């Protein structure tokens, strides 16, 4: 079966990225032998609400949801693959200080930092969020104590910016501002999604309630509230399942992220986009990285 709409194939298990400068069209990758991944390229992105974004959501429920997500990253090598792409940007830019945007309860950042150290990049990372969380921290990771808007990062937070599974929380105007702010400040940025606007990904949302029940015991610093509202009063499985489904529907494709980046009037800034493919996952996970290019003499 041949995929249409500009879908090309690449070898199995490879890290797929497509280097593109401003003005060049993006490419979308798919797995061979599996047919079309059923990208919903013609389906309008639905910016529905997520419970986690709502200011009225009780803080203990928001913390429980993000704590579950952090534990979910331990069951697949996605953070390690993200780290490999970040390492490529570090090699180009030399940045060893990372600033993570929309960090929640730290998410995959400890795993990413550990993998970067294994790859020879002993980075330090500052976590930021509009709703800062208490965080034990470590020698390599700290949490910025004040709220940070990813669309307007304070000047004192300099370094390579990262965003893990959070870009879809912003509408198109807000997402464009995140990219424009990084380009205007001449800061590298690496954006990764853990969701995909594809039919298999959307259907996978059906198993989220079961995953919540199975993975909750693996949550670090498990609280009694998390246990209560997972097993006795199953509010968290409902909230997490809804947000998981909506996250797929809100996710920008790699092509959409690149088009957004190309619209930014910042010369001397380079972008690379693509999808990460895993044997364990039926879909590719989009990413976008960008970095300033030094002026030529």
CA–CA separation, 251 and 247 (whole Å): 6
Eight-state DSSP code of residue 176: H
Highest mean pLDDT among 4-13, 17-26, 159-168: 159-168
State the average pLDDT for the chain: 84
Q: Is the pLDDT of residue 34 over 80?
A: no
Q: Is the pLDDT of residue 153 over 80?
A: yes
Q: What is the pLDDT of residue 166?
A: 94
Q: Is the pLDDT of residue 191 over 70?
A: yes
CA–CA separation, 290 and 81 (whole Å): 17
Eight-state DSSP code of residue 279: T
Q: What is the mean pLDDT of residues 9-33?
A: 33
Q: Is the pLDDT of residue 162 over 60?
A: yes
Q: What is the pLDDT of residue 265?
A: 86
Eight-state DSSP code of residue 294: P
Q: What is the pLDDT of residue 296?
A: 66
Residues 38-89 pLDDT 10s = 455 457 888 889 998 899 999 999 989 988 988 888 888 899 999 999 999 9
207 versus 18: the higher-pLDDT residue is: 207
CA–CA separation, 284 and 288 (whole Å): 13
Q: What is the pLDDT of residue 283?
A: 79
Q: Assess contact for 290 and 183: CB atoms under 8 A.
A: yes
Which H/E stretch holds residue 29?
strand 28-30
Q: What is the mean pLDDT of residues 202-229?
A: 93
Residues 258-283 pLDDT 10s = 999 999 988 889 999 999 987 767 67
Q: What is the pLDDT of residue 10?
A: 29
State the helix-helix crossing angle for 78-93 and 109-118, rounded to 10 degrees: 60
Measured in degrees and rounded to the nearest 5, phi and psi for residue 8 equal -115, 165
Residues 6+ apart with CB under 8 A from 90: 96, 116, 121, 123, 160
CA–CA separation, 279 and 14 (whole Å): 10
CA–CA separation, 288 and 126 (whole Å): 20
Q: Is the pLDDT of residue 182 over 90?
A: yes
Provide the percentage of residues in the chain whose pLDDT is more than 70. 84
Query: 187-201, 258-272, 282-296 — which is least confidently predicted?
Result: 282-296
Residues 121-146 pLDDT 10s = 999 999 999 988 877 768 899 999 99
Domains in the chain (CATH in brackets) are 46-75+198-250 (no CATH), 76-197+252-297 (3.40.50.150)
Q: What is the pLDDT of residue 45?
A: 87
Residues 6+ apart with CB under 8 A from 56: none
Q: What is the pLDDT of residue 44?
A: 81
* Closest-CA residue to 226 (of 104, 107, 71, 65): 65
Q: What is the mean pLDDT of residues 206-225?
A: 93
The pTM for the full model equals 0.83
């Amino acid at each position: 079966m041949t995929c249409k709409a500009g879908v090309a194939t690449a070898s199995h298990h490879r890290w797929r990225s497509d280097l593109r400068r401003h003005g060049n069209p993006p490419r979308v990758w798919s797995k061979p032998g599996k047919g079309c991944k059923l990208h919903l390229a013609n389906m309008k992105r639905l910016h529905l609400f997520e419970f986690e974004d709502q200011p009225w959501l009780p803080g203990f429920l928001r913390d429980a949801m993000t704590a579950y997500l952090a534990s979910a990253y331990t069951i697949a090598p996605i953070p390690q693959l993200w780290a490999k792409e970040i390492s490529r940007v570090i090699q180009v830019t030399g940045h060893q200080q990372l600033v993570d945007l929309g960090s929640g309860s730290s998410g995959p950042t400890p795993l990413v930092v550990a993998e970067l150290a294994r790859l020879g990049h002993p980075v330090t990372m500052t976590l930021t969020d509009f709703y800062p969380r208490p965080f034990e921290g470590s020698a390599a990771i700290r949490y910025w104590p004040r709220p940070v808007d990813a669309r307007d990062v304070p000047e004192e937070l300099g370094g390579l910016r990262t965003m893990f599974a959070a870009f879809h929380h912003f509408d198109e105007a807000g997402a464009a501002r995140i990219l424009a702010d990084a380009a205007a400040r001449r800061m590298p940025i690496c954006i990764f999604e853990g969701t995909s606007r594809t039919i298999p990904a959307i259907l996978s949302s059906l198993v989220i309630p079961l995953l919540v029940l199975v993975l909750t015991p693996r949550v670090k610093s498990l609280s009694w509230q998390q246990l209560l509202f997972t097993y006795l009063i199953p509010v968290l499985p409902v909230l997490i399942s809804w947000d998981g489904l909506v996250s797929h529907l809100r996710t920008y494709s790699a092509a959409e992220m690149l088009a957004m980046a190309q619209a930014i009037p910042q010369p001397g800034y380079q972008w690379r986009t693509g999808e990460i493919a895993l044997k364990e996952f039926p879909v590719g996970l989009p990413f976008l990285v960008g970095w300033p290019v030094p002026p030529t003499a």
